[in-house]
Amino acid sequence: MPRTILSWHRSRARLLVPAAATALLIGAGGTAPAADPAGAAAAQVPATGSAATGHSYQLTLLTGDVVILHVAPDGRQAAWAQTTPSGNPPAFVERDGHVLALPDAAVPYVQSGVLDERLFDLTYLAESGYHDVARADLPLLVAAPDGPGIRSVPEAPSGTRAERSLPSIGALSVTATKDELSSVWDDVQAGTIGRVWLNGRVEATLAESVPQIGAPEAWEQGLDGTGSTVAVLDTGWDPAHPDLAGQVSGARNFTEDADPEGQAAVDRQGHGTHVAATVAGTGAASGGTHRGVAPGADLLIGKVLGDDGSGYEDWIIAGMEWAVEQGADVVSMSLGTDWASDGTDPMSQAVDRLSAESDTLFVVAAGNMGPDEGTVGSPGAATSALTVGAVDKQDQPASFSSRGPRVGDGAVKPEVVAPGVGIVAARAAGTALGSLLDEHYTSLNGTSMATPHVAGAAAILAQQHPDWTDERLKQRLVSSSTPLDEAVSFQGAGRVDVAAAVGESVAVDQGVVDFGQLAMDAPAVSRTLTYHNPTDRRVTLRISADVTRPGGDGRNTPAMRVRNPVLSIPPGGSASTRVEVSAEASTGGSYSGHITAQDPRDRDAAINSVTTFTIERPVHTVTVDAVGRDGAPARGEVDLWNTETGEWTRAFMSGGTTTAEIPEGTYTVVTNVETAGRDTTASFALAAEPDLRVDDDLTLAYDARDAEPVTVTTPREADDGGFDAVWERTVGEQSMRMIIAQGYDGADLYTLPSSRPKNGTFEFSTTWQRPQPLLEVRAAGERLLPSPRLASAPTVYAGPDGLPLVDVGTGTPDEFAAADVAGKAVLVSRHGDWETPGEQQRLATEAGAALLLMANDADEEWSESFWNAALPTYTVDRAFGEQLRAALAADPDLELDLTSRRDSEYSYQLAFTEDGLPGGVTYVADHDDLAVVESDYRQASERMGRREAWIPYTGASALGSSLSISRNGPVHRTEYLSADGVDWQRFAQPHPEFPNMYWTWSSIEPYAVGTSTEQVWWGPLIAPGMPALTGSEEYGLPAARFRDAIRVSLPQYLYGPSTYGFNQEQLGDSTELVLRREGVEVGRASWSEGQFTVPGAAADFELSLETTAGRGNFSDLWTHTATTWGFRSARPAADREVLPLIQLAYGLDTGLYNEVPAGASYPLELRPSYPAGVEAPGGFTATAEVSFDDGASWQPAPVTPAGDGVLRAAVPAAGDGFASLRVTVTDAAGNTVRQEIDRAWRIGAA
């Protein structure tokens, strides 16, 4: 039978941790790329927004689907489809922080590994700069149909451009424009491509830390890395830094960033310089205080990450190949992906192959996706890599450090940990990465910082044992590590210990003992451990294993034994033992732990080997049979989520059935039984089993006719604006959230009741939109329902309240020719194929109809769209059409009574959450239980787009969906909101041609029952300012000083206390941010955020932000703003001090077009305030001037106090046009703000 199954495991990942929001393997402060020589660092513009205020992204997928992802400052995300070539939107899934959009057709290719899952991971694509604003193409790696492992490099697929051959993995890097992606997708479906990966962007992720790992003890023995070569693959190096003088023997640039003449691999970002100095810096700029781990080693510098701190996988692989060719003993890679790898990705394959062909040891960062398990990325997932996690200076786990085990096979990753918090090392000239200390040093956090500690340790060990292979170096570093009181998944064997590694003590050859994946009926498997005694005395070792698996069934220890638990090793001798695991005598699952050899006479010295293995679980078949509400075999989706492992399987029903083969375990199973209509889904019936124990083959059967309706009623009449249905299951640290049904075009929702979960939570949420009807129709005194649905937006009926009705039947040309429809309401029935409605609409327009009502010819729901049509056109259901015909038959001269409106003047945005699926429910909305938002949607130009959305986040969910609504003009709307168990975010797209630009949004916030809030969108007097957001302090929102660094982040458009937006350089807008100290420029940035380093002494500062609207801007107002804040600042005693930047809000009584009457004077209120965290001196005084000729001349607007801290300016009368404003405000402490807004509001009619 036809079926499609999707099954894979996705690691948990924490999204948008403030310390690593835009640099996946970089530490705190890593958001700023290169700075100019003056010392400022300007942040990149990754999309609409900033790290401090949130981002919105449009993404084109390989299948041609276009989707939107919004990421709020606190990490919560919302996603929806913009364009779907197949007509069916992708399934949106949130799994532990990553949102995926999965088109049905792509599912089997992802399951089989033909397509890289990252191609559909919206979170990864957006963060990594693959969104549509950032680039118009998509870089890919392709393998021939016979797959990786074959060294032959394939030809470039049709519609792509070949970039680089990668013989180490038998692949070709290509680039496909997003317009040509469909040709690659066609080749995938045709089988002419063996595998497609995203050519992913890979990002960069000492005084106390070097002694922490015991390096000084090695130095005392003359071991400082002399004679060893370490290749650092990163963002390059600063050739002028004193700590690296004479340390680098070779450098090469693999990126697209040009180097200065005569120099190679120059670092303009700062990460690579910091890493290189941690490996082998001399500490010259600090008098030796900040010396690296192996200052005697030679360095090779491979620039594989660009000036923005990221690079493509083919750059990385080429750099690895070069490092091996140059004879590097060790390769240090403080870089990686933000998705967990099973070690089969291109970069991991390259590490394994190059390691096998050379004696080069690759030391790689685990990643910064902790604290969740199974989050080690690529290339750290490579089997032969020595993968490194991070601890702080007290050997406590760094929360950001990625944890193992490796996804897929459960192998040990990382193998060791090292210091990675607050690491002070070299700062590249002109950069502002991390927490700057002075011109030579900066402090960073991350596994990026831990990795060079281990690379330096490896260089020291290679100096001591120049004949050792890379594998032996790795095993010695692992087995000599100091175990911490932490899980193996975090630490591997423990914190690296250089002194122990080079010491004369008993060692084991097998620091990592890998039993692999064992079949459940496999015979016993054993591994040999060999111990060496280099001392001059006999040593006795007692060997024991402490290995367990997670779970609460009491069977957590495997059948495992040490064959020779006591070894007596003579001086200079060796001895071996075998450790055996019996799979058939053990419970299936993943195990980890340590095998420890202990000398009873020296209990402080233990030799540790770390081990993990997985014992196969039985596989069973789950069959799901379903009948639709029409009694026919149903279609739909079945999601099976393993509550123990996090594995997720999706199966698609065809012909009323599907099967899934899944490992034994406990699952949450949610089934969506769809009943098909002619064009769309007529209804969704949902069923769920929160705790289904799968220990044998089983069948689930559902009949949608048994399901009960889920509906909502509102106090005021409202149309059906659609719904979203979402389920969320959480068990311990595992979670899964799925938008399971989206009901638009009138689809109905039904549920079968589910049981409560035995552990964790299982929530079912529905969100609903119900707007006021745009057209009410009465015939013969009777109101007809449901109300017609507008099909010709933004063209609405705005004619007489009464129109005669003409019935033209099925709307053929002959029927139109026989009827007099000019100036009348026309009723026509839909019939035939999908092209017919368009023909009917054209004929009605040409015949001069005033209003077209298109009736369905079937009982199911139906919608049509005739965007911007000249004739107001509405669709009605079949019963509505039959009622009109009956009324017309009774009265051939029937005149319709019409009540029309351009836009809904009220709407309901409702959310309800249940513990599990209810057995049918009607939610009754009551105004006493709701919050109210009075929204003014203003018109800043005639060309504005008019699409807004409410985004609900129910419960503790990190995934929101979009309840969108289109306007047809400016309007004041009363919005009624659910207030219990839901937070809301506002979202809007004001640009008419490029809806993915100028996104406008609000903070995510709850609304309390009974409250009323006023919000103005795109009103007058818009300028930069600091929205009322929390959680973005470290980015400079609000602007603050951190020791000797000033950080600033604010949007160019502040529409209200918590609503804001950004301009778009792509459409000609410009931004300039400048900081001056005592009148001398410190630095500048071309975006409204930056980081500036300044001297510690107190001084007077000016921060200026200028914005200019380009020709493609959506607004005729606020075309230019210039704001300068004056303040005094010195190095603070605390870690952070908010700067006293006076904020300006304005009050001006204008209409929906932001207009005031011409020929009259009027008051303008000034409301100065401070950002949160500033001790307010107050005592504001102000001056104001206005211009009515675009700044050619200015007139005073006298300012007087109005009480409660408000100042009032008297604006003189003027004729039609625009008003510009210039204001200066000073407080009692001498802080100032000067702000100019050109074309701040309109005068006269719009």
pLDDT at residue 1033 greater than cutoff 90: no
pLDDT at residue 29 greater than cutoff 60: no
The one-letter amino acid at 1134: A
Which band of pLDDT confidence, cut at 50, 70 and 90, is reported for residue 87? confident
Note the pLDDT tens digit of each residue in 375-404.
899 999 999 999 999 998 889 988 889 998
E strands, 1179-1230, in order: 1181-1187, 1195-1196, 1199-1203, 1206-1211, 1217-1226
271 counts as catalytic: yes
Classify the C-alpha dihedral 187-189-193-197 as positive or negative.
positive
Q: What is the pLDDT of residue 28?
A: 23
Say if residues 278 and 328 touch (Cβ distance below 8 Å).
no
pLDDT at residue 604 greater than cutoff 80: no
Q: What is the pLDDT of residue 1071?
A: 95
Q: How far is CA 27 from CA 302, 1018, 1099, in A?
A: 21, 37, 30
Note the pLDDT tens digit of each residue in 356-381.
999 999 999 999 888 778 889 999 99
From CA 620, how far away is CA 665, in angstroms rounded?
A: 10
The encoded tokens of residue 1087 equal: 């975006």
Q: What is the pLDDT of residue 964?
A: 85
3-state secondary structure of 1245: coil
The encoded tokens of residue 190 equal: 């045709």
From CA 505, how far away is CA 602, in angstroms rounded?
A: 11
Q: Between 313-325 and 346-356, two packed helices, what is the crossing angle to 10 degrees?
A: 10
972 counts as catalytic: no
End-to-end CA distance of the chain: 63
For range 1141-1153, the mean pLDDT: 96
From CA 164, how far away is CA 151, in angstroms rounded?
A: 14
pLDDT at residue 264 greater than cutoff 90: yes
Q: What is the pLDDT of residue 1003?
A: 85
From CA 549, how far away is CA 1197, in angstroms rounded?
A: 75
From the list 131, 241, 271, 274, the catalytic residue is: 271
Select, from the ranges 149-158, 259-268, 940-949, the one with the highest average predicted confidence (pLDDT).
259-268
In DSSP terms, 1121 is beta-bridged to 1107, 1237
Note the pLDDT tens digit of each residue in 688-747.
999 999 999 999 999 999 999 999 999 999 999 899 999 999 988 778 888 899 887 778
From CA 46, how far away is CA 33, in angstroms rounded?
A: 12
From the list 448, 479, 586, 1003, the catalytic residue is: 448
Q: Which domains does the chain have, with CATH numbers?
A: 8-201 (no CATH), 203-503 (3.40.50.200), 514-615 (2.60.40.2310), 619-772+904-1017 (2.60.40.10), 775-900 (3.50.30.30), 1033-1243 (no CATH)
The encoded tokens of residue 695 equal: 């220990």
From CA 335, how far away is CA 338, in angstroms rounded?
A: 10
480 counts as catalytic: no
For range 1183-1204, the mean pLDDT: 96
Closest Cα partner for 41 from 428, 590, 303, 354? 428
Closest Cα partner for 227 from 473, 463, 469? 463
From the list 96, 234, 691, 807, the catalytic residue is: 234
In DSSP terms, 607 is beta-bridged to 597
> What integer best gives the mean pLDDT of the chain?
88
For range 40-60, the mean pLDDT: 59
For range 907-924, the mean pLDDT: 94
| Peptide bond between residue 1038 and the one before it cis (omega within 30 degrees of 0) | yes
List, in order, residues 6 or more apart from 394 with CB less than 8 Å away. none
Note the pLDDT tens digit of each residue in 1012-1030.
999 999 999 999 999 887 7
Q: What is the pLDDT of residue 54?
A: 73
Say if residues 641 and 668 touch (Cβ distance below 8 Å).
yes
Note the pLDDT tens digit of each residue in 767-809.
999 999 999 999 999 999 899 999 998 899 999 999 999 999 9
Q: How many residues does the chain have?
A: 1246
For range 1088-1099, the mean pLDDT: 89
Q: How far is CA 278 from CA 145, 234, 456, in A?
A: 43, 13, 8
Say if residues 1108 and 1120 touch (Cβ distance below 8 Å).
yes
For range 1112-1138, the mean pLDDT: 94
φ/ψ (deg, to 5) at 1112? -90, 5
Residue with the two structure tokens 């035995």: 758
pLDDT at residue 204 greater than cutoff 50: no
Residue with the two structure tokens 């591994």: 527
DSSP assignment of 615-664: EPPPEEEEEEEEE-TTSSBPEEEEEEEETTT--EEEEEEBTTEEEEEEES
| Peptide bond between residue 534 and the one before it cis (omega within 30 degrees of 0) | no
The one-letter amino acid at 308: D
Largest CA distance in the chain: 117
From CA 252, how far away is CA 273, in angstroms rounded?
A: 14
Q: How far is CA 338 from CA 96, 344, 851, in A?
A: 13, 15, 55
Note the pLDDT tens digit of each residue in 535-583.
899 999 999 999 988 654 445 789 999 999 999 999 999 999 999 999 9
